[in-house]
A = this chain, B = another copy of it.
Amino acid sequence: MSAAASALDALKRELGELKDFDRIAALLAWDQQVMMPPDGAAGRADQLSTLGRLIHERSTSPELGKLLDVAEPVAAKLDPDSDDARLVKVARREFEREVKVPQDLRAAITRTCSESYPVWVEARQKSDFAAFLPYLEKTLELKRRYIECMAPETEPYDALLDEFEQGMTTAEIRPIFARLKEVLIPLVRAVGSSDAVDDAPLRRQLPVAGLREIEQRALAAAGFDPDAFRLDTTVHPFETAIGISDIRLSTRYEVEGLESLFSSVHEFGHGLYEHQIAPELDSGLLARGASLGWHESQSLLWENLIGRSRPFWQRFAPDLSEIFPDQFGSLGSAEVYALVNKVRPDFIRVEADEATYSLHVIVRFELEQEMLSGELALSDLPSAWNQRMHDYLGVEVPEDRLGVLQDVHWSQGSLGYFPTYSLGHLRASQLWQRIASELPELPEEIARGEFEALREWLRENVHRHGMKFTPAELQERVLGGPIDPEPFISRLREKLAGIYGQALIP
């Protein structure tokens, strides 16, 4: 073997082992949430912390730095879009990011999160923001130190965004969110109180056996392959990949109406993304989605653009009537379609519909920046939250449990995460526009329950690349330009006009 090939090989071997350890950690976390008997918690915390230390040591080790130093000149001679050249580039970026943060700061963040989470759980239960406040203060303080290490020269919030959506800037998001507010606030006001759609059939718990049955039929058609996927039940739905051929989804059935179906289809979208990554990337660092915003584009595409589409319900409304004759026996596909797309301004982000969702995100995006800058005193956060919910969504938050305390993210140190949800919505609509033009038969196929052409399109254009490209590079390759809210806005307007009548749409 040449010296060049061997330099690359040594790096790839180390990155491959790191990938294995990451996946082992993912399995430990999955098992903890899905399978572990409750008394196993303390032991599992030890196992995760031992493994986490190992991963941190090896991903910041001087040896890895040297492997990179030797591999870089070799990679520089390769096609810059080749897997190996990209691997070295991404590995260098991640290495530099890891070593920038001093070990004591990392440890303080980890410790604060693990102290903070149980406090948040109890504070939410009791709707007691004051109990959570000191932990949020501490987290914010650590985040400021983190920003100082990462990118002291840019807008502070950029360093937080970069953790979840590499390269994304506050400056890029701000005008996009301004445009969404301009459109969505009046739109939600206009249709949110309409009684044109009576969604009473969706406002109750449906029998779990039936929910499993409709889900099973939908997922089987979508491409859920039991040789490579599992689906389990958990308190909070999620997806995790233990490898591109070992995809684990979870859902929950103790929810209103068809939420469990949409949730499973959503997680399937995440899972399909990782399942369709090119096999040659599987053993290394690149076998992940390009970013959270790209991941969310895939889950939301399946949940909203497919699962809440007319053709989907042309296919599955008869199944719904058959499975739930009492609840849906008399409803045709057009009626089910209207039901599952009803706009309902409410307090809780995770239950929000397509029209209100981004307004929930924008509330958080704005507050996070004001918290970070010190413009907003943390003790005033609940009232600022409630005021903004009133202004943007027209709802009056009755207690902090349903307001500022609803999300887990801040208790886990995840500031700058929320915008990726909206980026996912916008990208999904941009993708859909291109898909619609390239797969003109797709609506008919979906109405027949056929998803293969769609899966192949997603594989070819998005999934197979894993994280070879940065979020922005992938955006440019697949969508030919930056994130654009207009496809989402026009699709949403058109959809709601079809349901509520053109006259109601501002």
Partner-B contacts on A (CB < 8 A): 16-17, 20-21, 23-24, 27-28, 31, 35-40, 42-44, 46-47, 50-51, 54, 225-230, 242-247, 282-283
Contact = CB atoms under 8 A, between A and B. Distances in A.
28 contacts: A16-B46, A20-B47, A20-B50, A20-B51, A21-B50, A21-B51, A24-B24, A24-B47, A24-B51, A27-B28, A31-B31, A36-B242, A37-B229, A37-B245, A37-B246, A38-B227, A39-B228, A39-B246, A40-B242, A40-B243, A42-B243, A42-B245, A43-B242, A43-B243, A43-B245, A43-B282, A44-B242, A46-B283
B20 A46 contact: yes
Interface centre among A28, A35, A229 (most CB of B within 10 A): A35
A37 B283 contact: no
Contacts of A20: 46-47, 50-51
Nearest to A25: B24
Given A23-B43, A245-B39, A50 B17 contact: yes
Contacts of A50: 16-17, 20-21
Contact of A246 (B43, B227, B246, B283): B43
A356 B246 CA distance: 43
3 A-B pairs closest in CB distance: A40-B246, A43-B243, A39-B245
A136 B242 CA distance: 34
Contacts of A37: 226-230, 245-247
Nearest to A18: B50
Contacts of A17: 50
A484 B246 CA distance: 49
A40 B283 contact: no
A247 B36 CA distance: 9
A18 to B, nearest CB: 9
A47 B22 CA distance: 10
Contacts of A21: 50-51
A442 to B, nearest CB: 27
A246 B24 contact: no
Nearest to A40: B246
A47 B35 contact: no
Contacts of A24: 24, 28, 47, 51
Contacts of A46: 16, 20, 283
Contacts of A228: 37, 39-40
A246 B242 CA distance: 21
Contacts of A31: 27, 31
A61 to B, nearest CB: 14
Contacts of A47: 20, 23-24, 27
A22 to B, nearest CB: 10
Given A39-B246, A44-B246, 17 more contacts: A20-B46, A20-B47, A20-B50, A21-B50, A21-B51, A24-B28, A24-B47, A35-B35, A35-B230, A36-B246, A37-B226, A38-B227, A39-B225, A39-B228, A40-B242, A42-B245, A44-B242
Interface centre among A38, A44, A282 (most CB of B within 10 A): A44
